[in-house]
Structure 1
Amino acid sequence: MEADESVRDVLAANLRRVRTARNLSLSGLSRLSKIGKATLSQLESGAGNPTIETVFSLSRALEVPISSLLDQPHGGGLTVVRAADVEVLRGDGVDLRALRGIATGDTVVEVYDQQVRSRQESPGHAGTEHAVVQAGRLRVRVGDHEVELGPGDYVGFDARLSHTYVAVEGPVRSVLLLHHTAGDRVGDAPRPHVAG
C-alpha cells in the first residue's frame, strides 16, 4: 500500500468494485453481511472506521478473500512492504497488518503480520489458516481442540471451523497466512486434526 493511501481508501475502492461486480445494492450487502447500510455507505466513501470483524463479515458476505478488499494491485518483479506504510486494522483482541495477497490461478494466499493483544474469536471463514508464532505464547482453539504455541511453533487448520486466538504471554507476534481456492465456502467443515 502506498504511504499516502490509507486502509480506508483501499477498502472503499475495493468494496465498491466487488459489490457492484456482484450486482448488489448497499441494502443487499447490508442483509448479507449484517452491517448497517449507513456503515457500508461510510466505508465505501472512505469515511468509515473498519475493524477486523467488519472486514471478515464483508469477505464472508461477498465470498471473496480478505485481500480482495484490502490489497492494492502490485506491479513489477519486486514487492516491498514497509511496516510504516501499512495501516493497522484493529479488532477486539488482534491487530492485523495486511502485507500482501498472492494470486496464482484459482489460489490466493494472504500474508498478514498479526499481533494478538488478548482474545479474538472467529465464527469461521473460507480457506485454510496458518500461523507461525514469532514472540509470546499463543493459545489456539479450533472446534473442540486447543493447543498452546511458543516462538517458532506452527498451527494450520480449516478456517471454516470456529476458532479463537488467546494471548497467554502477550502480546503475541505471529505471521498469519490465509489460503483460499476458488469455490471455498463456509459450511460443514471437517473436524480439526492436531499433531503432537
Structure 2
Amino acid sequence: MNDSITTDKSETRLRLEQHIARALKQKRISQGYKISDVARIAGLSQGMISKVENAQVSTSLDTLSRLCDAIGLPISKLFSDYDQVGRGAQLIKAGEGMEVVRTGTEVGHTYQLLSYLQGPKKHYEPFLITMDDASEVFPNFCHAGHEFIYLLKGRLIYRHGEKFYEMGPGDSLAFDAGVPHGPEKLLEVPLQLLSIIHYDSDEEA
C-alpha cells in the first residue's frame, strides 16, 4: 500500500515537472529568447534553466517565479494549463463496457455503459444496447435529459410519445427523454443501438 502511494506521488511529480518544462520552453521560444537571455533576465545560470526545461530538476517556487517573470508567463496560467492536461481520457475496448442493469434488462436487453469516469456529476451516459428478444411487450422509458439513438444493426419500430418511427441500420433519432419512449416492435434481431443521454446542469441522472 505504501509503495503504491509513493509511486503515485512520484508519477505526479514527474508529470508536473514535464509539464512545467514543456510550458516554459514553448513560451521562451515563442518570445524569441535564447536560454542565455532568460538566464540574464532571471538571474539564473544557463545550466539551471536547461535542467528545468528538460525536467531534470524539481523547481523551487522562487526559481519558477523568476523564470515565468523573465518570459512573461503568468504562473497562475502555468498551473491552470496543467490542470487541463491532467484530465485524462477513458478508452473502452470493444466488448469491455461496464454491463449495467436498467429497465428492460429482464426482457432481453443488454446495456454496456461506455463512459463512467466523469467525476461527481454525470453530464451524459453513452450505452451500447443489444436486444435479442423478440417479445412484443417492452417497458416505457421516461427519465431526465435528452437522448440520441443510432441504430447499428437490426430493425425496429421505436415509439416516442404518440409517434412511431421505423428504423434500420444507420438511422438515428433524437428526442426529449422526459416523454415516454422505447421499442414498440423488433422487426429484425439481433439488434444493436448506441444510446447517448445528455443531462442538463440542473438535471439528475
TM-score under structure 2 normalisation? 0.47
- The alignment's TM-score, normalised by the length of structure 1, stands at 0.49
Structure ranking higher in helix proportion: 2
Query: For the pair shown, which has the larger CA radius of gyration, 1 or 2?
Result: 2
Query: Relative contact order, CA 8 A, sep 6+: which one is greater?
Result: 1
